Structure 1
């Protein structure tokens, strides 16, 4: 391979179960373009070996270590593009792209996406529909903010993702506990925005997400997912459905709001995952994430629309305007399996066959303890993905497939009061050969 063609640098591979299909597409496009793939990863490589020409072990969650490793790679290779889809690493990776002079979200763009307080401030100044909000660092500040904003409110860590630590407070009697939950979750965040919790006016209405490419500031929607949540007063994401023919994809107001938001935030090049509430005041952006969606939403998008998010990401990362035209018109959905209460899992069995079944998998190993909020989040033991020609049939397929999942587990007591918050089981990849984090 001609080294002069350059190297595409990837910061963090993510979980095999969630991201291998993206890496496979990127690998295919890189080979066709004569580019080498170099991965910076915090774990010993297993499945990644099939796709990357070089793998550098470093703590990607420590910005100093990650940047030092990336600069060492840049001293040996000509970096022509950079990719990152792991939320805790997006900020440092975006700033690194600017340092290396390759396409990226831009410094303003990545900071605006990662810092929820900055997102709210910028979008409010732009005149977009936004909730009343305040960044708080103490319970007294949170109480005062909630009184000023008006109940009900939502409290959330300043920069966490996946709805971790996000909690609803209907009135003053629920505020203190909600603030404790939000701040407790914020303690595991290692970014510069870890301090503080946002207090926001609750926005009612259906919630959606939109994954889109951004090329030189041009906003290019790919697919839209309808989100299903549960576990009130928390916001656990229990499923998503992508319909290639969802009329909201062509809703002029929604697309305009999203495009204006990205311009205001300063997003330059990349892929974003925007979460939006459809309120009686119009579309209200909950957050803009500077990465592809999680929860296999990009996989649902590819299954339903034929748009390959890995190929789109390759294009924007290498400075090319991507093609986002649909080649399929179907519906795809995912349903996550949650326990009824905290438990120690013995086994999880998922179906091999079911109507419309595309994929199914356990998400944890035997011996894993799953904890529901507020002791833990994303306590998922499995998922099923189904596809159909219409949303009703897809929902029926998901119901059938989910009913075939079998969980053998025993209840466990909740964590002791004041116990340190731990990241959810299954969010951190493991070395497949040893079964433990490397």
Structure 2
């Protein structure tokens, strides 16, 4: 017999297709504020499960209650607050409001992590651009400006002096869609720890059940593009065993510090010479993780989230990886530019280590580097026999992009 599970969904780290693929044994009830949903999303979700409009939360909760839901999940930061409110109305186990606040507010999160004894970068809260120069003086340079609530490195800037601070803060408050930002110390990563060709940071995907860590999987990253844009991921990760063990320890402490007890958490860590340092904690599955986990370990991450939500102890057993899986995001250069031509970039699929090339921008589109990873123009996904071989595929992708893709000034 199938169990009804509520999925609060407007976007997220699991696509509707991934939700559908892992839904056997579960009836999906999509809680969606229909009036504010992206175009076409409601129709798509209606193919996968039943859509319940929660624009009016009280009425939507009553309709959901009538279905007898056994649990509730969400897969994006922006959906966590609504999921927490619905869980309280329906008496379902979920993150507390305090945990959601700490997971989605970077300033509060830094405070909680510091209180738990974890090393965090120096940080200051900004409520207006005029505070930027003084905050930067207290934090020191180089520093990073980012929204208190935000994801995908959107409106995130490097600051090297007071002129940078005032210029970027003025732009961010005027156009960034947020009323609070943080300036924080820019952590200096150690390339020797990460290894050649890799980014100086990683993420650890943590699955928890009733406060106990069930499993942890390390996910290595490709180097960031200017200023702080995520270029790609690979799994399994490539770290010395002792560094990976410390990354797992810190990630578990960070989850407990925020009160995360159930489901997936995504913990990003900077690899410094003094050891891994928490960049941020997300109380949900990390982006692209469902696909990478399935291809590399055969794990169904979304199903595990459903199991935890409905009270079952998740059946997550990590064996040896089946393969190394990667995802490469095609990002625009910095500048006011337009995509002129893709050339023959789709020909990458002729390579044995490339599974797919999905292009989401068209020739003539204006591109915006300030959107961070939300400004991704396309995605290349693939498999290799060993994690080390991913870098060979990445070099081939980058050569093809340099030779084939053309941008022009607007």
Note whether the superposition's TM-score is higher than 0.5.
yes
Contact 1:213–1:316 under 8 Å retained in 2: no
Work out the CA distance in 2 between the residues paired with 1:271 and 1:55: 24
Computed over aligned residues only, the root mean square deviation of the Cα atoms, in angstroms, reads 2.8
| Alignment match, 1:343 | 338
Work out the CA distance in 2 between the residues paired with 1:271 and 1:412: 42
**For this pair of structures, how many residues does the alignment match?**
388
1:299 shift after superposition: 1.1
| Alignment match, 1:256 | 249
1:167 aligns with 2:168: no
Contact 2:339–2:366 under 8 Å retained in 1: yes
CA 1:201–1:408: 2 relative to 1, 3 Å: closer
Q: TM-score, normalised by structure 1?
A: 0.80
CA 1:219–1:69: 2 relative to 1, 3 Å: farther
| Alignment match, 1:302 | 294
Choose between structure 1 and 2: higher helix proportion. Answer: 2
1:300 shift after superposition: 1.5
Work out the CA distance in 2 between the residues paired with 1:239 and 1:356: 15
- What 5-or-longer segments of structure 1 have no aligned partner? 31-35, 59-64, 188-193, 414-438
CA 1:105–1:382: 2 relative to 1, 3 Å: same
| Alignment match, 2:23 | 27
Of 334, 355, 380 in structure 2, the residue corresponding to residue 384 of structure 1 is: 380
1:310 shift after superposition: 1.2
Kindly report which structure 2 residues correspond to 1:110-259, keeping only aligned pairs within 5 A, or say none.
110-184=100-174, 186-187=176-177, 194-205=178-189, 206-232=200-226, 234-243=227-236, 246-247=239-240, 251-259=244-252
Q: Which moved more, 1:257-266 or 1:196-205?
A: 257-266
- What 5-or-longer segments of structure 2 have no aligned partner? 190-199
| Alignment match, 2:369 | 372
Contact 2:210–2:261 under 8 Å retained in 1: yes
Work out the CA distance in 1 between the residues paired with 2:372 and 2:117: 36
Q: TM-score, normalised by structure 2?
A: 0.85
SS in 2 for 1:237: coil
SS in 1 for 2:112: helix
CA 1:245–1:336: 2 relative to 1, 3 Å: closer
SS in 2 for 1:241: strand
Contact 2:204–2:217 under 8 Å retained in 1: yes
Work out the CA distance in 1 between the residues paired with 2:283 and 2:223: 22
CA 1:254–1:171: 2 relative to 1, 3 Å: same
CA 1:180–1:321: 2 relative to 1, 3 Å: farther
1:315 aligns with 2:310: no
